[in-house]
Amino acid sequence: MREKMSRFDILHPGVWFGPESEIQENILLNPVGELGELQFVCECLKHGDFSVRTRLQELIISCGDTLVRKQAIRLYCYTARHQDVAFLCGLLEKLDYDDVLTIVVTAPDTISPEVVPYLFALLDGYADESISQDILSAINRIFPWGYVGGEVDLTELSKKFSGFAKSLVKGAYYYDGALVHPGALCKALIEAVAQSRHSKRKFPLANAPTLLSVWSGEKCPVFYGQDVDDRCVQDVLNYVNRIASLQWEAGKKYFYRNNVE
């Protein structure tokens, strides 16, 4: 397992945050510097120790390494509860453009409707910049309203979201307008793979591989730009069967099979 860990680069993680370390190894891990702190916190979170979330917050605030801070923000979004969203959004005025963009792009990975009002508020400050398109796309991932680019009527969009918000199950997590559940993403993954195989095109940019990998702790066998052949299709079907065999509850959020709490 130590060999696997040494090969994984958390600063360029791809679709997940790497394999889990052995518990004994995690205990002996001595965080040195900002990168070491990120690695340590990540391993604790993989084992369901969410008490280190405060250390992750401190790292995001104090970090001087832009790559470490970017991955710390990503990790925070995947492990944040509803009540933790305010911390990240409260930093928006203090961060530079690149960090704000990181938060915007990864905000939907909180799968918390609580993030949407903050994204609406952020639009006021970036209405004339290209990041506004990313903000609208981020809103569309949690609360789908058919956004395909261009300008929108924010007043009308806000009314639509208010209607959506009234129908939410209290405390539940949402993705693509529905109670989050890996089953829906598994279906989307299979459909995307089948379409790529049929059209002989490379696998498209999609959220399913990353979300399934992070929720389950098992790396998805297909990724953006990959050639899809019969072997790939079978690997994905086997992967989906393994994901389906695990215990999941609709509306709950998971990180490496641990219920985020």
Q: Tell me: the pLDDT tens digits for 88-147?
A: 888 888 888 899 999 999 999 999 999 999 999 888 877 667 888 899 999 999 998 888
Residue 111 lies in a domain: no
- Proportion of the chain in helix, strand, coil states, percent, rounded to 5: 60, 5, 40
Per-residue pLDDT, 128: 67
Is 224 among the domain residues?
yes
Please state the domain count of the chain.
Answer: 2
* pLDDT, position 175: 92
Domain ends where: 95, 116, 144? 95
- Give the alpha-carbon dihedral of 250, 173, 223, 242, to 10 degrees: -20
Q: Of 95, 129, 158, which residue constitutes the final position of a domain?
A: 95
**Could you tell me if residue 201 is inside a domain?**
yes
pLDDT, residue 29, reads 56
> Is residue 89 a part of any domain in this protein?
yes
Q: Is residue 219 part of a domain?
A: yes
Q: Which residues of the chain have pLDDT under 70?
A: 1-6, 22-31, 127-128
All residues at 6 or more sequence positions from 86 whose CB lies less than 8 Å from its CB, including other chains: 114, 118
Strand ranges in the chain using DSSP code E only, listed in sequence order: 174-175, 178-179, 254-255, 258-259
The confidence score (pLDDT) of residue 23 equals 54
Backbone torsion region of residue 256, taken as left when φ is above 0, otherwise alpha when ψ lies between -120 and 50, otherwise beta: left
In a domain, 123, yes or no: no
Sheet strands (E) in 128-189: 174-175, 178-179
- Which residue segment(s) compose the domain that 69 sits in? 1-95
Among 78, 95, 112, give the residue marking a domain's end. 95
How far is Cα 60 from Cα 146, in angstroms, rounded to an integer? 33
Question: What do you get for the CA distance between the two ends of the chain, in Å?
Answer: 27
Q: Is residue 158 part of a domain?
A: no
Residue 157 has a CB neighbour count (10 Å cut-off) of: 18
In a domain, 91, yes or no: yes
What's the pLDDT score for residue 5?
45
Question: What angle, rounded to 10 degrees, do the helices at 33-46 and 53-62 form?
Answer: 150
pLDDT for the residue 2: 38
C-alpha distances (whole Å) from 80 to each of 130, 158, 178, 201, 205 are 27, 24, 19, 35, 24
